[in-house]
Amino acid sequence: MERTLVLIKPDGVQRQLVGQIVARFEQKGLKIVAMKFIKMSKDLAERHYAIHKGKSFYDDLVSFITSGPIVAMVLEGRLAVKQTRNLMGATRPEEAAPGSIRGDLSVYTGQNLVHGSDSDENAQIEIANFFTPAELVEYDLANKDWIG
Ligand code: DAT
Ligand code: MG
């Protein structure tokens, strides 16, 4: 089963949207296999956003993601990367579809509430940046036969 890394960024925590955002992923049927509430170090932020190094928004991105606590989680499910990206909506909130997290709850690209891995390969790298293998909890959900 596929896994992906999701972050609720500092704006999500400050706006007290953690419960609403987690609920959207749970309601879809994605399984939480790890979760932690942390303030990211600059080192972790630079590793997490290494792919964006050199871009005009990179410094702002690192300073924003380290500006306050975040929620990091690993979600598991069929095509978890794609399903999560769909629930998040497009990077730019003005392009994110209504019904998506960004489309419904955010207005500014620099504060778009959530991160989700963009490929299975990147998901595995990103998960390892945040969680040890022992922190990924193996269990079955009671409703597993009803989600597919
Ligand atoms: P996503 O978060 O949808 O995967 P991304 O990986 O392209 O988007 O960029 C990472 C984050 O960087 C994004 O969530 C918000 C910020 N960002 C991207 N493009 C930006 C831009 N043109 N100006 C300001 N911030 C930007
Ligand atoms: Mg991305």
Residue of 3, 9, 48, 115 with catalytic role: 115
Site to probe by mutation for ligand 1, drawn from 9, 46, 61 as the one with most ligand atoms within 8 Å of Cβ, is: 61
Query: 92 CA to middle of ligand 2, Å?
Result: 12
- Are 143 and 130 in contact by the 8 Å Cβ rule? The answer is no
Tell me: domain 2-40+70-137, CATH 3.40.50.720, correct? Answer: no
CA distance to 28, 69, 83, 102, 127, per residue, from 147 (Å): 9, 32, 13, 25, 24
Which one of the ligands is nearest to 112 CA? 1
Query: 115 CA to middle of ligand 1, Å?
Result: 9
Residue ranges lining ligand 1, Cβ < 6 Å:
57, 61, 91, 109-110, 112, 115, 118
Query: 10 CA to middle of ligand 1, Å?
Result: 15
Q: Quick check: pTM over 0.95? A: yes
Q: What does the pLDDT look like over 6-44, one tens digit per residue?
A: 999 999 999 999 999 999 999 999 999 999 999 999 999
Report residue 49's pLDDT band, with 50, 70 and 90 as the boundaries.
very high
Q: What does the pLDDT look like over 70-97, one tens digit per residue?
A: 999 999 999 999 999 999 999 999 999 9
Query: Domain extents for the chain?
Result: 2-40+70-137
For residues 83 and 105, give the distance between their C-alpha atoms in angstroms, rounded to a whole number. 18
For residue 35, the SS3 value is: strand
- Are 125 and 3 in contact by the 8 Å Cβ rule? The answer is no
When computed from its CA atoms, the radius of gyration of the chain, rounded to whole angstroms, is 15
- Is 115 an active-site residue? yes
